[in-house]
């Protein structure tokens, strides 16, 4: 019987999705830094700036992903039981009053039990939110059986199929996996980011686009039965994925349980 501990202080730290504009401002700043890197004559200064951009990019993105997952869980009333292993969550009695805070929601509580620091963890929580067919345990078992490293996750396969990108030319899972591992290596293994400033700018743009895909794909899917949103969703689907809603739902049905 698995147990998860409720930590109200962590839930308090999950930003509201309405703070998305802050994320956008940070992305603009990071893109401007890429221009500064191009002009920087000192190799040491240039290297330090590139490392900073990667660390900051993933740091602010992780907060956004937490906001997104918490919002989706709350907005679509996704049960904690469907998200978490086991059937018990522990709470210290001296923290009970903190749960009454308006800033703490079930979505924020559930989100804090997940790590979002690597591509597999991101895929796992979004697979659960979207009710996808293949569980992380099944994927892990399959990986061990085939004796290979993880090269994809169902959530990213779904996004890949919705996107206009050929997987051989742009593999979305590997792209996210490498970027997040680069950040971890810079932070924990004291390595450097060696690509050019132009390459870094492309990575920022691609990563921002991928996060937008995560949000819009999940929201359109989960709000399928909300008739008032169908017109808005149809427009968003055309703009984000270049397809009609019927095609979106047909593709999505191959990956989800319902």
Residue 215 lies inside a defined structural domain of this protein? yes
Residue 258 lies in a domain: no
Considering the domain boundaries, does residue 154 fall inside one? Answer: yes
Boundaries of domain holding 37: 3-253
pLDDT score recorded for residue 205:
96
Note the pLDDT tens digit of each residue in 234-255: 999 999 999 999 999 999 999 9
As a whole number, the mean pLDDT across the chain is 85
List of residues 6+ apart from 106 with CB closer than 8 A? 73, 74, 80
Instruction: Evaluate whether residue 245 is within a structural domain.
Output: yes
Is position 76 within any domain? yes
Whether 101 has a pLDDT exceeding 70, the answer reads no
58 domain residue, yes or no: yes
Within a domain: 120:
yes
98 in any annotated domain: yes
Asked whether the predicted pLDDT for residue 159 surpasses 90, the reply is yes
> How many domains is the chain partitioned into structurally?
1
Distance of CA 173 to the CA centre of its chain: 11
Report the 10 Å Cβ neighbour count for 14: 21
Q: pTM for the complete prediction? A: 0.85
Q: Is residue 57 scored above 90 in pLDDT?
A: yes
Number of CB atoms found within 10 A of residue 1's CB: 6
Position 185 pLDDT exceeds 60: yes
pLDDT of res. 241? 96
Is the separation of the CB atoms in 2 and 86 below 8 Å? Answer: yes
């Amino acid at each position: 019987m698995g147990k998860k501990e409720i930590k109200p202080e962590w839930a308090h730290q999950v930003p509201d999705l309405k703070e998305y504009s802050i994320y956008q401002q940070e992305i603009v700043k990071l893109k401007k830094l890429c221009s500064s890197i191009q002009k920087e004559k000192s190799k040491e200064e240039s290297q330090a700036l590139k490392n900073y951009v990667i660390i900051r990019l993933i740091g602010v993105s992780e907060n956004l992903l937490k906001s997104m997952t918490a919002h989706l869980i709350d907005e679509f009333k996704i049960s904690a039981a469907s998200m978490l292993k086991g059937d018990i969550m522990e709470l210290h009695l001296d923290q009970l009053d903190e749960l009454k805070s308006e800033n703490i929601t079930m979505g924020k509580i559930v989100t804090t039990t997940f790590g979002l620091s690597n591509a597999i963890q991101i895929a796992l929580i979004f697979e659960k939110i979207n009710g996808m067919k293949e569980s992380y345990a099944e994927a892990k078992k399959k990986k061990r059986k085939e004796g290979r490293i993880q090269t994809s996750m169902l959530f990213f396969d779904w996004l890949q199929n919705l996107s206009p990108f050929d997987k051989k030319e742009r593999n979305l899972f590997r792209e996210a996996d490498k970027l997040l591992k680069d950040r971890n290596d810079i932070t924990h293994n004291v390595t450097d980011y060696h690509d050019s400033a132009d390459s870094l700018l492309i990575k920022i743009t691609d990563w921002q686009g991928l996060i937008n895909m995560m949000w819009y794909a999940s929201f359109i899917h989960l709000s399928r039965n909300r008739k008032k949103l169908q017109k808005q969703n149809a427009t968003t689907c055309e703009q984000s994925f270049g397809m009609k809603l019927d095609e979106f739902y047909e593709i999505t049905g191959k990956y989800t349980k319902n």
